Structure 1
Amino acid sequence: MKLFYAPASPFVRKVMVFIKELGLEDKVELVKISTTVIDQNADLAASNPVTKIPTLVMDNGKGLFDSRVITAYLDSLVSSKSLYPAEGEARWDVLCMEALADGLMDAAVNNRYERGMRPADKQWDAWSDGQVKKVHGALTALDGMAASFGDRIDAGIVGAACSCGYLDFRYPDIGWRESYPALGAWYAKFSKRTSMQETQPPS
């Protein structure tokens, strides 16, 4: 398999953490690329028509995207360990938490594009403020759940950790740990896992 990736993406990081937690490092070739909305990578477009990362090219040549599809596929390859509960309420709780974390990352990335790439005279403050509000809404929800996280690891937990890591990376002045102390305390411990240490975005 081949993974198109860029180390700054929180969605890529989620997939990379899955690869490490599931012991699939020797099964996935990493292909580092640069792609943006306005400068799209042709090799990536051949496997993913919307040219977004991460994209996983399976052994049969087909491309898989987005990150939640990739993580579910990777999980299906390992019979001895699963990061998705098989059934029941626990399964839906994990899937919903993964979607919540993805929503946080999506809003944070969208705002990063707005502030970092769009010309200053074309930036829309109200739209940007709305994205930040989504981030805080997700953080409030995760903070309320954090006391129940314990030492468990699943797709929702990995997503939450990668979203926290992205805030550290791109929003170091937001002070999310002070505003969401339960989540911050949990993340301080979880971020020490080898899979998290080895997938940190570039400084």
Structure 2
Amino acid sequence: MKVYFSPASPFVRKVMVCAQELGLEVERLPSQAHPVERDRVIVADNPLGQVPTFFADDGTVLYDSRVICEYLDAVAGGGRLFPAPGPGRWRALVEQSLGDGLIDAALLARYEAVVRPAEARFEPWVGGQMDKIAVALDRMQEWAPSLRGRVDIGTITLGCALGYLDFRFPDLDWRGGRDALAGWYAEFGRRPSMAASAP
């Protein structure tokens, strides 16, 4: 199994954390994913030109992180990171959706700051993305007690989202007023899979 890799991508990190938690080896292929200067090597396998783009041992190409992580869980026997149908599954999938959405908003805010020319930047757009992040963090704070002791696609995605904020938005005080969430993340972030994949 192989994946086009970028050490800064929170979506690639999510895949690598899942792989390590499941005891699976995934080879890292270098790539240069970019929202404007698209890596044609990636595009040849994934028209979106995004990472992670994953290659199964039989040559099947998979994307995006949600599909890849579920595939890895199935390869490992199923049901370890993606709970069986029922309330636990829907909870984990909603947590994954919120974490992915927070990451999307953070990426859009970052691209506005570092990719778009200064004269074309639209600050209300950045404000809208940062508001999504703040409201998502507040919901995660509410969820924090239910996150403890769990390792599944929901907690992994939320952990990778918080890690991305620390990496790309170090001045954002997301822990302020969110002690329960900060405490959960401090513990979850010490997992070997999280420590090994930190950008």
The amino acid of 1:87's aligned partner reads: P
Give the C-alpha shift of residue 62 in structure 1. 2.6
Paired with 2:29 and 2:177, the residues of 1 have a C-alpha distance of 37
- C-alpha change, 1:175 and 1:76, in structure 2 (3 Å) is same
Q: What secondary structure is seen at the aligned counterpart in 2 of 1:198?
A: helix
Instruction: Find the residue that maps to 2:29 and give its secondary structure.
Output: strand
2:64 is aligned to 66
**Equivalence for 1:10:** 10
SS in structure 1 at match of 2:35: coil
Pair 1:182-2:183 in alignment: no
Partner residue of 1:103 out of 101, 115, 135? 101
CA distance in 1, matches of 2:169, 2:35: 21
Q: 2:40 aligns with which of 42, 48, 52?
A: 42
SS at match of 1:152: coil
CA distance in structure 1 between the aligned counterparts of 2:156 and 2:198, rounded to whole angstroms: 13
| Segment of structure 1 superposing worse, 100-109 or 172-181 | 172-181
Conserved in 2, the CA contact under 8 Å of 1:22 and 1:81? Answer: no
Name the stretch that deviates more: 12-21 or 38-47. Answer: 38-47
TM-score normalised per structure 2: 0.97
- State the distance in 1 between where 2:60 and 2:82 align: 23
Kindly report which structure 2 residues correspond to 1:116-131, keeping only aligned pairs within 5 A, or say none.
116-131=114-129
Aligned equivalent of 1:76, options 45, 56, 74? 74
What is the rounded CA distance, in whole Å, between the counterparts of 1:2 and 1:161 in structure 2?
23
Q: What one-letter code is carried by the residue in structure 2 that aligns with 1:91?
A: R
Structure 1 residues 94-103 or 71-80, which shifts more? 71-80
**Structure 2 counterpart of 1:29, one-letter code:** E
Distance 1:160 1:80 in 2: 21
Q: 1:149 Cα deviation (Å)?
A: 1.5
Amino acid at match of 2:57: D
Which TM-score applies when normalising by structure 1? 0.95
Q: Where in structure 1 are there 5+ consecutive unaligned residues?
A: none
- 1:132 counterpart = 2:111: no
**Aligned equivalents of 1:21 and 1:81: distance in 2?**
13
Partners of 2:152 and 2:190 lie apart in 1 by: 16
The number of equivalent residue pairs is 199
Displacement of 1:38: 1.8
* Distance apart, 1:47 and its partner CA: 1.2
Corresponding position: 1:31 with 2:67: no
**Equivalents in 2 of 1:120, 1:193: separation in Å?**
39
- Residue 150 of structure 1 and its aligned partner are, at CA, apart by 1.6
**Retained in 2: the 8 A contact 1:102–1:159?**
yes
Match status 1:92 vs 2:77: no
